Structure 1
């Protein structure tokens, strides 16, 4: 039996890396990439996934050296107390604001497709409270929850997307790579952030039993995500074509709705996908709440970090209600990616990796 020491195994770490990024974006990703690179979305997803694996390597190398310190204390060790604290503030803001965005997107999408007459607040508040209740129990309990839903998630994915294969026309994927280089760069940029969530590895190191195996476990989790994303994008293009995919709000949902169940023994197949989606968006929210709780607690050196989560919840809820529509939410999300996303996901790993190398050379 696993001891209750609030530590996670390498397998559980891989599940956290796998299940965190797959949230709201899984519905919209095919349309976003179709606008960028026509029918070559699968190609930029591969490139984006490989680039993110490289950044996982940077994070893992730094994390192994300072596994007991955590993200904030590692920054303070590498850059000094004052500069390290300043560098950690945007990371806290990233998790704080993206938690608000994810909760609002969950509320809007659920209201649009499932709970038409339910007030938005009564959709958002329950999932936020349940996420907090899980987070306050610690990372081990979070990992056990992820472990419990992993097999259900995989089986549902296999069942749902095997339905779309028979009617796919793969000639819609042609021509291959006949697109301008600048558009490919834009597609790579968007694909990079479809994997956002892998950076949680930074603050997970103090909770990992075997930090030396973190990169291998995280890489396997990332490869699973790449495979699922590519499968979804290819079959959206194969069924609808890139031009029509651009016009769809949620191409993945449309793909499932357009599929027929053999023998018609199950109606409303999109409901099954929505059930899976609710679980996946919940995992994203849980991890982001845990992220701002840990980073915020370390910033002010507060031992009871669960207090940070409960104190900030009302502020996050108020912020989540500021956008007027889904278009405003998407616009806000794009701005957050531009200013905080690049910083948290890519700038910080590179800078910390270089600083750790320099510090290692000085010690030698």
Structure 2
């Protein structure tokens, strides 16, 4: 039975989805999308937002058929106990792998730019101890922290306004559409992967207070915000750096802030990165929570599961990760995300309609 003590409001849901999506991928997003879409990268971001909106509608149509059931119960209701449990394990594996990848990428950035002499294991350990500490608490406390952490997004937006005084060249994005539809679509695929995190809705839905109305509007507003936020940053980077420069800069957003220098403040990029550790950590917290909820909904076992999953992610992050291994790891996680985020929810919706599945144990 889901009580109000562990439930969240739609206001909190808005920020939970935002914090789950915006994280470490923000820094390299302009570079990744620009590889194919070039000056039309901002169009790719908008297109990715439209695709996410379609997926959110699919999620909503599925979940509102089972408003009081957790996603682990929904899968077993539609597919049966055996297949449902296998599917739940696939989701669990995906969340663990994604959480591990985020941890690895975050450690790499922190070590490269902030703490070059600190061992990888020490950075990873501090990140995961913090994540476990917050994740073992109930969802309402996690949501409150995410709302507070979201203020740092406003800080980033405010800081980027100062970059408008730096040289800009609108010609870098002209003529609009010159990259071609194919390259824009390829760019949208890369942008879509940077927006992952919205799949958390599948496990959050039954915890939302009064989830029978207003949820679609809330998740749509969250998607619009994230899409607009990403589009703005990508656009600023596109008109700040030439195409050749964009190809060479791995974290254009941080490099953009590096251009800011004042008499009393220098290295704005490093100052911001130190602050942005909090929003980056929220993504790890989100996937640690989802991994634990995908295999345990009991209060007592949930806490133990969080600790075990945190240790598992820590151990995976200790594996030596060269750039080549990290790229390969990211590639496999990407393939897995296609099934978990895009294909499986759509198939579950279709099957629930065909077999007229609704609330647990009901058929119509």
TM range (shorter): over 0.9
Contact (CA 8 Å) 1:34, 1:41: kept in 2 or not? yes
Tell me the distance in 1 between the aligned counterparts of 2:130 and 2:170: 42
1:348 to 336, 341, 344: 344
Worse overlay, 323-332 or 68-77? 323-332
State yes or no: 1:324 paired with 2:321.
yes
In the alignment, structure 1 segments of 5+ residues that lack a partner are none
Secondary structure of 2:115 counterpart: coil
TM-score (norm 1): 0.93
2:231 maps to: 230
C-alpha distance in 2 between matches for 1:146 and 1:171:
38
Question: Aligned with 1:19: secondary structure?
Answer: helix
SS of 1:267's equivalent in the other structure is coil
Question: Does residue 315 of structure 1 match 2:316?
Answer: no
Aligned residues: 356
Q: CA separation of 1:328/1:217 partners in 2, compared to 1, >3 Å: closer, same or farther?
A: same
Q: Cα deviation per residue 1:57-110 (whole Å; 9 max; x = unaligned)?
A: 111121122122211110111111111122222111110111111111111111
Q: Do the aligned residues in 1 keep the contact of 2:134 with 2:285 (CA within 8 Å)?
A: yes
Q: Following TM superposition, by how much is the alpha carbon of 1:314 offset from its aligned partner in structure 2, in angstroms?
A: 2.6
Distance in 2 of aligned mates of 1:89 and 1:183: 35
* Structure 2 residue aligned with 1:135: 135
Alpha-carbon separation, structure 2, partners of 1:194 and 1:164: 23
TM-score w.r.t. length of structure 2: 0.93
Is 2:135–2:285's contact at 8 Å kept on the other side of the alignment? Answer: yes
| Deviation per residue, 1:302-324 (Å, 9 max, x gap) | 86212111123332222122243
Aligned residues: CA RMSD: 1.9
In structure 1, what is the Cα distance between the partners aligned to 2:320 and 2:204? 31
Equivalence for 1:18: 18
Q: Deviations over 1:313-358 (max 9, x none)?
A: 33222212224323421321122111x1101110122112212222
List 4+ stretches of structure 1 deviating above 6 A: none
Alignment of 1:160-309 (within 5 A): 160-167=159-166, 168-212=168-212, 213-261=214-262, 264-297=263-296, 304-309=301-306
Instruction: Tell me the equivalent position of 1:37.
Output: 37
Aligned partners of 1:105 and 1:326 also within 8 Å:
no
Q: Please tell me whether the aligned partners of residues 96 and 316 of structure 1 are also in contact (alpha carbons under 8 angstroms).
A: yes
Q: Which moved more, 1:76-85 or 1:351-360?
A: 351-360
DSSP 3-state at the match of 2:294 = helix
Establish whether residue 57 from structure 1 lines up as the match of residue 64 from structure 2: no
